[in-house]
Amino acid sequence: MEFDLEYNSERNNLIIPEYGRHVQKLVEQCVALEDIEEQEKMAKYIISVMGNLQPHLRDVPDFKHKLWDQLFIISKFQLKINSPTGTITVEELAERPPRLEYHRVKSKHRYYGNNVPMLIEKISAMEDSEVKEGMVFHLANHMKKCYLIWNKDTVDDDVIFSHLKSMSKGQIDLKVEKLTDSSILMKSVNSKFSSKSSSSSSSGQSNTKKNISRTKSSYQKNKRR
């Protein structure tokens, strides 16, 4: 007896491996059909099979559109029928999406983050008023808090004033005697960390108590037996 075995090395590469070898062979048979009506019927059948193989995509918008696009990709765009959702072209498939531009602020004061330079730019464009003065004062306090989180030591207010002036290119010159005390600024930060740690420790203590009670109950049951 002779067996006509087909090895993977002799087969064509899978275009979309998620659908397997059988779907690709069905698509090849569909491309080989000369009758347009028969090709359309078989294409709809293949679409139903592909939908059953990918049930998680049914909740995705334009589910049918995605399947028809994948069918034309598997057929190497050799199908003669028109897709009911619009036929994808080779140019559209080869087109690369636009590159995302990330907002990167080049600053030597990275401990202030990316929001502080943007706030400085917005506030600098404002007209002089009491509102602007209040915003500058709160911004300076926020910068002082960011500096303390990064450095953990006390910081002189003159350092914040100089950073604010240099980062605003001389447009903001804060003239106040003193900013908010460092202990007050760090109290809010420490309270956040302490609340998180206390919640985690309380949950851990409750779990420990539950485990102890379960161990005691199981021990009493075994002792009775």
Asked if pLDDT for residue 115 goes beyond 90, the answer is: no
C-alpha distance from residue 12 to each of 9, 27, 111, 124 (Å) = 8, 13, 55, 64
The pLDDT-based confidence of 171 (bands split at 50, 70, 90) is confident
Where b means 16+ CB within 10 Å and e means fewer, 158-191 reads eebbebbeebbeeebebeeeebeebeebeeeeee
Task: Of 96-100, 106-110, 144-148, give the range with the top mean pLDDT.
Answer: 144-148
Which has more pLDDT, 174 or 203? 174
Confidence grade of residue 63 (pLDDT, cut at 50, 70, 90)? confident
Q: Band the pLDDT of 222: cuts 50, 70, 90.
A: very low
pLDDT tens by residue, 7-16: 777 888 899 9
Look over the chain and give the mean of its residue pLDDT values, rounded to a whole number: 80
The average pLDDT across 28-46 equals 93
Which position has the higher pLDDT, 23 or 183? 23
Ranges 9-18, 43-52, 185-194: which has the least confidence: 185-194
Most confident option among 33-47, 80-94, 103-117, 148-162: 33-47
Query: Stretch 136-149: mean pLDDT, rounded?
Result: 88
The DSSP code for 102 is P
pTM for this entry: 0.46
C-alpha separations of 59 from 63, 73, 134 in Å: 7, 22, 50
pLDDT score of 188: 66
